[in-house]
Amino acid sequence: MNVIWNIGHKEIVEITTPVLITWNDGKYRLCGDFRALNNYTKADRYPIPRIPHALDKVAQAKYITKMDCMKGFHQNEVKPKSMKLLRIICHMGIYE
């Protein structure tokens, strides 16, 4: 499953926000600070539900789904026109 593609070096990059985190055990994790994206995106028309309301609905549900919140952000599908906003640039090229 390909989730990241090298798109070369010649592409114009309007936004790039790579942050390399080093854990105490010496492992690395590539992250992004995407706060600058607020200038390029539309406000969400659907507010996040309040926790008590969400818990009430879950309590009455027949089926429950869970999601990995630790790594869940990058496991969600991104529309092709939005992928350019999530680009990462490094010495090996530009990735999206």
Tokens representing residue 83 in the block:
């992928």
Tell me what pLDDT residue 11 has. Answer: 65
DSSP single-letter state for residue 6? B
pLDDT tens profile 28-81: 877 777 787 778 777 777 778 788 988 898 899 888 877 666 666 556 777 888
Distance CA 43, CA 51 (A): 21
Query: Any residues with CB less than 8 A from the CB of 3 and at least 6 apart, and which?
Result: 74
Confidence of residue 9 (pLDDT cuts 50, 70, 90): low
Mean of pLDDT values over 18-37:
80
